[in-house]
Chain A
């Protein structure tokens, strides 16, 4: 793992398992009378949000505060800085204040990668969601939730999701959650199936490490987890599907469909849910739906990521180097965490 967390695709299996295991220990802090650790004392983390996302921001903020970091919240949305100048200028302004890490949410795909690789700043960069590209901490908390439920809290330590079948349903085309999850769940050994109307699957999906189906019903019985993605009603106007009703009928998860899932299977949702669209209230409020757990797990995962990125000395691995050749597929960062305790 490098000093930045930009994409779930950058994580090796061992990196990912280490993050999940670390999050499992972090989760125990929440059960203590004093829910705080001194680990990031004296470190400053800025939450740089160019898009509204209250839930992601407060999740990071809770994680940062539990690790005793100094937290600066910067909401760039609506600021008068013109588009394009704002990212570089804002980042440099923050860096001048002595920031150790930037947690960035941005509407433009690749903005965190640019921030991490353009030489604009030295701080560590954590991607809190960029455009329709990646949202790696969401994928990590989803994997964490799935591992707890499907493998077990303690039994899951050191384990991945080998052989687990996870179905992701909805607007894959516009979803950074789907992209991150396909990358990470595949790395963790899970078998991923994407289910969506063909209009909401990107051209080029055939190279992704997953299956694609247009038929939800045929996938339910063989799913250990079904992850429902939010579908924005506005998509209807751009002719991605004819009507809300037709979408719900073909791709929504209701009680009947949930009953056809295996008994142990869970329903996941990154939130916020559009009840009545992709998920019915009956499913959303059932015991099998992990949406509230996912929120709690988000704090543990973000604590783990912050600790593993910022808790040590200077990272052993430099910035990811952009590839410039025709053939290369990935930026191929190298894992750097020590997985054994140094004594």
Chain B
């Protein structure tokens, strides 16, 4: 989820069309889980940190899949990046979400950040800053459900569910059962009035 470039996500515009459906999402998460195991050589020291809100649910789903594959419990937590955002002063204050670091901490671990949409990269920059204040991982990787392009910072994802070429006039909205009652990724037209903020 790249919050800064997606100001009106909760109500997808009426012409929004699904680009990923429930079974697709489950499939790509399974694939990402396998990739993590492969690249992390068994995922021994992996900690998954979801970025609220939907990144946390994705991280929990990934953890479950990793547990199936590796037969081990994979630590999963959440990392709220609100206080580290670079656009705080462009909006009214936001309610904070929970940062929950698994019991053994992050030092020396492979942290995989999990988010729903990768867009400008600013959320991930904030997440890296936040991580800096919490511990010193061995390495940090990034998993996203959708990469819609248009990066503004030198950031790329290590695991991508779907590359989705988009126009800046479009919005990408991820809906997950835990939060929204169903699994889907919607692509729609941006509402012009709100787009002016950016």
Contact = CB atoms under 8 A, between A and B. Distances in A.
Interface stretch (A57-65, A238-246, A308-316): A308-316
A22 interface: yes
Given A37-B133, A341-B95, 11 more contacts: A26-B96, A39-B83, A307-B83, A309-B93, A311-B83, A312-B92, A312-B93, A313-B92, A336-B92, A337-B92, A337-B93
B133 A21 contact: no
A37 B94 CA distance: 15
Interface string A57-98: 000000000000000000000000000000000000000000
Interface residues of B, number: 29
B99 A25 contact: yes
Interface of B: 1, 3, 6-7, 9-10, 52-53, 80, 82-84, 88-99, 129, 132-135
Given A311-B93, A342-B94, A343-B6, A28 B99 contact: yes
A37 B99 CA distance: 13
B138 to A, nearest CB: 17
A342 B3 contact: yes
B94 A338 contact: yes
Contacts of A22: 95-96
Nearest to B126: A38
Closest 6 CB pairs of A and B: A312-B93, A25-B96, A34-B133, A343-B3, A311-B93, A312-B92
Nearest to B97: A341
A336 B93 CA distance: 9
A341 B3 contact: yes
Contacts of B98: 25
B55 to A, nearest CB: 12
Given A38-B83, A343-B1, A343-B7, A33 B135 contact: yes
Nearest to B107: A33
